[in-house]
Amino acid sequence: MRRRVKQTRSLEERMAEQAAKLKAMADQLPAGAERESLLKRARIVETGAHLGDWLNSPGLRQSD
């Protein structure tokens, strides 16, 4: 049986928090591949956090 978890924060909030954590981790590292990898992951997570906003934007709404 699959265990269900009730989320108290939205997916966007959790993704934004994850992006902030990744950036903070990257800030602790010297320039290099590992730092760039963390920053890339942070950008990807930030993009995902904003997808809902983009999908609900007036420009994407179907006209009647």
Render pLDDT for 5-63 as a digit per residue (tens, 0 to 9).
888 888 889 999 999 999 999 999 999 999 999 999 999 999 998 888 888 888 766 66
CB atoms within 10 A of CB 28: 8
**Is residue 64 over pLDDT 60?**
no
Band of pLDDT at residue 2, cut at 50, 70 and 90: confident
What three-state secondary structure class fits 62?
Answer: coil
Give me the pLDDT at residue 56, please: 80
Q: What is the pTM of this model?
A: 0.75
